[in-house]
Structure 1
Amino acid sequence: MTDTRPDHFYLKPYCTAFLESSTQSMQNLESSIQKILQMPPRHFEISYNRRDLILYALGIGETDRQFTHESDPFFAAFPLYPVMFPFLENAHDISLFPPKSLCLDEGTFPPIKSVIHVEQTLEIHHLIANQSATYHCESKILSIRGKVKGAFMERETLIKNQNGILHARLLSGLYIPGLCGICKNESASLRSRIVMPRDQKPDWEFSLKTTPEQAMLYRLSGDYNPLHIDPDIAISYGFESPILHGLCTMGIAARVLYKILCCRVPSRFKKIRVRFRKPVYPGDSLNIQIWRHSSENDQQIVVFRTIVPERDCVVLDGGEFTYLLGQRARL
């Protein structure tokens, strides 16, 4: 059955921060935006160990010993793991949601209720360690631009080792519903939107099924948004039950792309980008469709999307995956 409810109905629960109300008027909106854009980066450190790497891999449904057994000769961190770093600040135990790294300073913005995670990009410059490690993160708002019924904000997080070497770059696209009156060209990002092929059979297609307990397991990697565990909160947002984390759905797609295209070599995984369209319920089936797109030097780019066949809806759209060329593996 096709679900006809509007996309924004599903986007609302992807909240990454709740901001304190203030008495600022909309007349001060532009000065508030300039203040945010001129703020220096926020610095924080995160640490993890091999157990954390394995737990994350299991959370996205990975079973390959390369990512689940610390004694495997090719043991590695799954390449997408850095997307969890903003959730790991001072994460020695289960922490309140949202973490400090995802919050804006009080008093810098007009009254708003939520910030909604709608896009995510990861660029890998150097692989992270496959053992206990500490990394330094720098987070900054890059742009804020007006949309029809709100505003779009882009946050950058740079991940560096203790020697200052850049390992990864995160770009998070955040939608602020109801925040109107912003110039549409205000510090606008120049990134183009990925267009999926029409009437063209995918070059690769893979189907799998999520598990009923997948959100319960994935949240232990750091994203403790109660929407994914508390039925009452899920119902209050209009859902029948808790939904799967968008970043978990992204992780499931990433491991399929990795196995098909990277030949079990983590260093071939260079960049991934997705747009979160609609939610996945734990236990849903996923169909991942992949098309060849372009190549440049030694890198190949494919585009992809993820569909839930039971509801005939696209849950991940505008997917782009960049990998180093090499012999492709078979699933």
Structure 2
Amino acid sequence: MDPSIVGTQHEDPPVRWGRDDAILYALGVGAGSADPCAELEYTTENTPDRPQVALPSFPLALGGNPIELLGDVALAQVLHAAQSVRLPGPFPVAGAATCRTRVDAVHDKGRDALVRMSSALVDLASGATLAETSTVMYILGGGGFGGERGPSPRVAEPDRAPDRVVEVATRPEQALLYRLSGDRNPLHSDPRAAAAAGFPRPVLHGLCTFGIVCRTLLAGADAAAFERMTARFAAPVVPGETITVRAWDEGDGTVFDAWVGSRRVLADGGFGLHRDGE
């Protein structure tokens, strides 16, 4: 891995989305799957008294973190290690924006490397920032260049029972639906690609798991109140498995993790809503 990529930037071509795109994304992360009459604000555009809103994790499907910034790295070397998203306000159900991405750091993990990127989704008309994201990529075989290892931040689990434990079933075809929101990596659809990567069958997109847990943590709250969410990807989910979300409500937000049986799939999770007046 070439550490000189730190500071390089990339601006995506403009991306445009409409109400149907926001609905398709919501369906892809399971909105309405437990009860089609619930979550209609995410899954319909014409329900009386339920104006359509976008899920706060939707901007993660709209671009950013281009692999070309990584230099001479093959897609098979890249693992999605962690993700965060922050919204200054409600995310629009339709709009046009450009995504500006910067490489913030490259860390030498010995055999492998870790790359941190930050992105801003900027409204084309007003220039306002609609969403800010941070992505951590683990590059297999990219280490050994003599750089610093960098920090390994961890979120301490509160020393008490979770305030909430919620089980969320995923569907066998979940990845096939989620991929329609933009991530067509065959790892999530083609059994041969999954086998080549060491998986017995296609796995769920990490960002789909992220979106499912985001929905779960909102727990009926107004999506407009969402401020931030972050998590580390600890293990993949196989479509059809049930995710158990554990959440601890703290003074400045929520600490969470997510499991499939005894396998932790999301770790070091943080979730927060805007405080009144902010």
- Partner Cα separation in structure 2 for residue 276 and residue 213 of structure 1: 21
SS at match of 1:270: strand
Question: Sequence identity of aligned pairs in percent?
Answer: 29
**Any residues of structure 2 matched to 1:307-322 within 5 Å, and which?**
307-309=259-261, 312-322=262-272
Partner of 1:146: 108
Measured in 1, the distance between the counterparts of 2:69 and 2:254 equals 38
Q: Tell me how far apart the structure 1 counterparts of residues 98 and 120 of structure 2 sit (CA, whole Å).
A: 8
1:75-154 → structure 2 map (5 Å cutoff): 75-86=52-63, 102-104=66-68, 108-109=71-72, 114-131=77-94, 133-154=95-116
Alignment match, 2:41 = 66
Question: Aligned partner of 1:46: which letter?
Answer: V
Matches within 5 A, 1:224-239: 224-239=184-199
Residues 182 and 294 (structure 1), Cα distance of their counterparts in 2 relative to 1, 3 Å cut:
farther
Which of 284, 287, 290 is 2:244 aligned to?
Answer: 287
Answer whether contact 1:112 1:178 (CA < 8 A) is retained.
Answer: no
Contact 1:112 1:179 (8 Å CA) reproduced: no
Matched, 1:53 2:25: no
Q: Secondary structure at the match of 2:63?
A: helix
Q: CA deviation at 1:135?
A: 0.7
Please give the secondary structure, in 2, of the residue aligned with 1:306: strand
Which deviations, in whole Å up to 9, do the C-alpha atoms of 1:79-117 show, x marking residues without a partner?
110011117xxxxxxxxxxxxx622258x4578952211
Q: 1:192 to 1:130 in 2, by over 3 A?
A: same
Q: Which amino acid aligns with 1:290?
A: A
Using structure 1 for the length normalisation, give the TM-score.
0.75
- State the SS of the aligned residue for 2:106: strand
Task: Supply the AA of the counterpart residue of 2:42.
Answer: F
* Structure 2 alignment gaps of length 5 or more: 33-38
The aligned residue for residue 166 of structure 1 is 129
- Structure 1 or 2, whichever has the larger Rg, is 1
Q: Is the 8 A contact 1:33 1:109 kept in 2?
A: no
Runs of 4+ with >6 A deviation: none
- The answer as to whether partners of 2:89 and 2:227 remain within 8 angstroms in 1 is no
RMSD: 2.2
Cα pair distance change 1:170/1:110, threshold 3 Å: closer
SS at 2:178 equivalent:
helix
**What is the number of equivalent residue pairs in this alignment?**
267
Distance 1:180 1:273, change over 3 A: same
After superposition, give the CA deviation of every residue in 1:126-180 in whole Å (9 maximum; x if it has no partner): 322223x111110111111111331110111111112211111110000112222
Take 1:317 and 1:202, find their aligned partners in 2: how far apart are those partners?
14
How many angstroms apart in 2 are the aligned matches of 1:201 and 1:104?
44
* CA distance in 2: counterparts of 1:210 and 1:110, whole angstroms: 32
Displacement of 1:183 in angstroms is 4.3
CA spacing shift, 1:168–1:145, aligned 2, 3 Å: same
Name the amino acid aligned to 1:274. A
Select which of 201, 219, 224 maps to 1:267. 224
**Structure 2 CA distance, aligned partners of 1:282 and 1:290?**
22
For normalisation by structure 2, the TM-score amounts to 0.88
Please report how far the alpha carbon of residue 325 of structure 1 lies from its aligned counterpart in structure 2 after TM superposition: 4.7
CA contact (8 A) 1:145 1:183 kept: no
Counterpart code for 2:8: M
Structure 1: unaligned runs, 5 residues or longer = 1-28, 88-100, 296-300, 327-331
The residue aligned with 1:202 is: 162
Kept in 1, the 8 Å contact 2:10–2:69? The answer is no
Aligned: 1:302 with 2:254 = yes
Aligned-partner Cα distance in 1 for 2:215–2:120: 23
Residue 3 of structure 2 corresponds to residue 33 of structure 1: yes
Rounded Cα–Cα distance in structure 1 between residues aligned with 2:128 and 2:78: 30
